[in-house]
Chain A
Amino acid sequence: MLESLYYTSTLFKVTFFLYALALVGYGIGIFRKEKVFGTIPYALFTLAFLACTVLIADRWIEAGRPPFKSFYESLVFAAWTTSLISLAVEYKFKMRLVGFMSTIGVIMIFIFALTKRDVEIIALPPALQTWMFIPHVISYFLAYGALFVAGLTAILYLALPKGIASHHTLGEQSRIDFSATTYQITKFGFLFLTAGLLLGAWWGQNAWSNYWGWDPKENWALISWLVFAAYLHFRNIPSWSEKRLAWVVIIGVAAIVFTYLGMDYLPTAEDSLHVYSGD
């Protein structure tokens, strides 16, 4: 992995370093109540996010195409959307803990990206040379980022079912209800998950004359969508506990992770059209 890090661009190293710095800041910040211990890690996280934006833009220019083709590129973009959603959630719901957990997640994504580093920038195959590629990927990764953060707040709910007092400089002190926050983020993620799924079907029709091919990746995308749809409906069952709801979200995130990373383990994957190159 160190060899891989050695050969990555300076921008990658800087971004990685800033995320690590933000994590350290949050690590200290969650034990301190002073405003400054909330502001500094948030600023560092924002800085890392901006560096990640430049990293993606630089790749876009160098490759001469949207940088979403290879596994490595998609992981960097997943880190970017996760950061974006996490920063927004932290800003809106005043949750320093979410920033802490998100930076751990983002760093793990970056480390994983190092193991999948592209030695060579690959060109887009004909099927991906369409305007639909960009909205489809952006919808999905916004959904993935949001639902990943929702998964984190669901875990926080299980750990702190009574909520926690907000320690953030950006708003008034208040009590945080992690379950309600999970629902708000999930709604947002679900909307983009739906859009991504349907845009994918539309694109599939144009590229392969098939809006739905029962491809393993498509099927697992549907499964993820169904689990989150079930979550939204579970909320209508009055006595269905918040704890169980949190678990449904975590299962949904697990389904997304499997959709993203687990296709190689399926016996039907050999037929799949949705394979990341460079893995």
Chain B
Amino acid sequence: MADIKTSSSDSRNHDFQTRGFRKATILLSAMVLFCLLAQNMYGWAPTTWASILAPAAVVAAYLVAFYKPLKQTIDTPYFATLSLLAIALGTALGTFVSQNAPAAVFTQRYGETGSSVLRGLQLDDVFHSWWYIGFFVLLAGSLLKMSWKRKLSRENLGFHLAHLGPIVILLGFWVDYFYGFRGIIQLETGQSSNVVRVYRGSTNYLIDSTALPFQIRLDHFEFEKHDPDYRLQVWRNDTEPHPQPAVDGHGQTATGTPEVIASLPLKEAKIRHIYGTDVYFRLNEFYPNFAFDYSYPEVNDQIEAKDPGVLLDLKTPFGKADVNLYSNRPGRNTIADETHIGGWLEFYWEVPEELAQAIDGRPDAKWAETNRTILIGAEQLIYYLADGKLSSEPLHAGRFYPFPNREKVGFTMKFLYPDAAYLKSTPTSDGEELLNPVAKVEVWHKGGAGKEAFLYPGGKRGGIFQVAGTDYFLALESFKDMETKYYRSELSVLGENEEVLKSQSIVVNEPMLYGGYRFYQSDYDPDRPNYSGIGVSHEPGLYVIYFGFAVLVLGSFLMFYGKYRKQVGLG
């Protein structure tokens, strides 16, 4: 095995190692102190030459004071290793303290003293602190010198690439840091702008704005959710009492929200079991667009008019629906909707008193104020009272009757029946499109009789089935259609005279490039269908970074597994 390690650890080596680490530690620690001093001076000094010269002098002082030990140590494995670990430690610190937070937020989190100390140590913005950047600068120096010292040969190619790759990446980073920016343009459809709000650090904090040399116009925006995927679900009620905030000074408890335990594909006839209970269930039928198929005995006149009714296929601006009106059931014989059907729809088996008066030519004035469509079952007639005028016509099954002053809103009569007890309804699906999904399930306790239930979506307000004697209920729900499938903006780049220089559609992962800028689909708001957030970035060092990535990966591969790799050592 190619291995550089030897088991020797004599005292001479041990001393050398201790001295090496000590020296590197001193150099890195001193760099941190000098950088802290310089950066704080940069912050304290007024914005004059002093604010540049003073910190520059401090940095220069470090380089002068430590030039010789740096030169001696920087290309040692001690220095390289400690630099790597120092960067790791600095990065970790940056994850434990909030970064780039507004002053008020920062003080609220860490208190006055705490936030002052953290700011003094530049821990509120670690990744832009001079000491953190200093670690990278020294590491780059270390890598560069190590590579410089080693002969360029086929055997060392992997070593050189692996050590120069990070320097190339850092170079690209440096170019972007000073000459690049990243931000957002927020537009509504039809709007154009060249003002980019610029981010700093994380996307949560916007610090500045900059102007592009051209305008960006949002021509069109759209987003789509995923298709629904309905599943049979087992939910458990959270019946544990949970303490609630005492609003009125008294402690309160409430039960928590239910939890979905299982979400099962719609496989008909497959017997399922609810864990921890003796309850079984199965899906007997799934109706993508639930409807009833009605039937009634052919000979109506032999049936006494005990509970007369009419089944109508009602067409409203919201769609079509089957509606039963019952003459003898108070509140179930009328639909009163001035807005959508333009008045009242009523059903009676016999002519009511108010209508009889109107037929006799002496209508009740107040009653006649409302537009009415009145169906009379025994006579099979339809009366219209429109703008105070009464008219009538025969009522036939299968014919469409529009409401007064309406063209497309009306009804088609399906059945007129003297007794609702004889009306048979059979569940069915009106096509395969998922318009009104309903599941018919059968639930039973072990050894007991099955009970059928219809489930339909809508959470607890929808059609759920609470399993008696348990904390579980069954539901039919789809979560998938709550998630966004894609969002897309169609953009145009406009020149000085509003001429279109480029048009392109962008989605997440497919940005538009123009004039050294990149435009990304980065934000949308379901409540604002015309709004789109366009991420903008200008990164002149990007391709340098990508080149560095390729160099680093290739170098690492050659160093570890290349045919001509040097068989001993990494550095």
Contacts and interface: CB of A to CB of B under 8 A. Distances in A.
Interface string B541-558: 010011001001100110
Contacts of B536: 209
Interface stretch (A80-88, A163-171, A176-184): A176-184
Contacts of A223: 88, 91-92
Interface in B243-282: 260-263, 275-276
B518 interface: yes
Contacts of B487: 126
Contact of A239 (B17, B182, B520): B17
Interface stretch (B75-83, B316-324, B418-426, B429-437): B75-83
Nearest to A177: B1
Nearest to A8: B262
Contacts of B484: 125-126
A271 B5 contact: no
Nearest to B110: A267
B85 interface: yes
A194 B203 contact: no
A148 interface: no
A143 B80 CA distance: 23
Contacts of B557: 191
Contact of B94 (A132, A211, A214, A229): A214
A207 B263 contact: no
B359 interface: no
A205 interface: yes
Nearest to A129: B509
Interface in B109-146: 109, 127
Contacts of B486: 126, 129
Interface in B442-494: 479-480, 483-487
A214 B483 contact: no
A219 B16 CA distance: 33
Nearest to A126: B508
B81 A215 contact: no
A237 B85 contact: no
Nearest to A188: B560
A233 B231 contact: no
A134 interface: no
A219 B545 contact: no
B204 A235 contact: no
B291 to A, nearest CB: 28
B201 interface: yes
A226 B88 contact: yes
Nearest to B202: A271
Interface stretch (B95-103, B362-370, B382-390): B95-103
B14 A239 contact: yes
A240 B17 contact: yes
A238 B549 contact: no
B56 interface: no
A216 B509 contact: no
Interface string A227-241: 101101111111111
Interface in A119-147: 119-123, 125-127, 129-130, 132
Nearest to A268: B95
B356 interface: no
Contacts of A2: 275
A63 to B, nearest CB: 10
Nearest to B509: A130
Interface stretch (A19-27, A32-40, A94-102, A195-203): A195-203
A238 B8 contact: yes
Contacts of B263: 119-120
B3 interface: yes
B570 A232 contact: yes
B65 interface: no
Contacts of A173: none
A12 interface: no
Interface in B511-570: 511, 518, 520-522, 535-537, 539, 542, 545-546, 549, 552-553, 556-557, 560-561, 569-570
A195 B261 CA distance: 38
A266 B87 CA distance: 18
A201 B571 CA distance: 27
Contacts of B108: none
A222 interface: yes
B507 interface: yes
B4 interface: yes
Contacts of A245: 5
B231 A120 contact: yes
Nearest to A220: B95
B302 interface: no
A213 B203 CA distance: 8
B1 A180 contact: yes
A209 B549 contact: no
Contacts of B337: none
A202 B261 CA distance: 38
Nearest to A267: B98
Given A180-B1, A209-B511, A237-B78, A230 B84 contact: yes
A45 interface: no
B182 A122 contact: no
Given A209-B182, A239-B16, A271 B509 contact: no
Contacts of B360: none
B552 A198 contact: yes
A83 to B, nearest CB: 23
B490 to A, nearest CB: 16
B391 interface: no
A7 interface: yes
A119 B262 CA distance: 5
A31 interface: no
A239 B8 contact: yes
A211 B545 CA distance: 9
A236 B82 CA distance: 13
B571 A236 contact: yes
B326 to A, nearest CB: 42
Contacts of B47: none
B306 interface: no
B463 to A, nearest CB: 19
A236 B77 contact: yes
Interface string B320-336: 00000000000000000
B570 A233 contact: yes
Given A190-B556, A233-B571, A227 B88 contact: yes
A90 interface: no
A194 B549 CA distance: 9
A226 B553 contact: no
Interface of B: 1, 3-10, 13-14, 16-17, 20, 77-78, 80-81, 84-85, 87-88, 91-92, 94-99, 109, 127, 173, 182, 201-204, 226, 231, 233, 260-263, 275-276, 479-480, 483-487, 507-511, 518, 520-522, 535-537, 539, 542, 545-546, 549, 552-553, 556-557, 560-561, 569-571
Given A184-B1, A191-B556, A205-B539, 15 more contacts: A119-B261, A121-B480, A126-B484, A129-B486, A177-B1, A180-B1, A183-B3, A188-B560, A208-B535, A210-B537, A214-B127, A214-B202, A233-B80, A233-B84, A240-B17
10 contacts: A119-B260, A126-B507, A207-B508, A209-B182, A209-B535, A209-B536, A211-B539, A219-B92, A227-B85, A236-B570
Among all A-B residue pairs, the 8 with the closest Cβ atoms: A239-B13, A126-B508, A226-B88, A209-B537, A236-B77, A198-B549, A209-B535, A130-B509
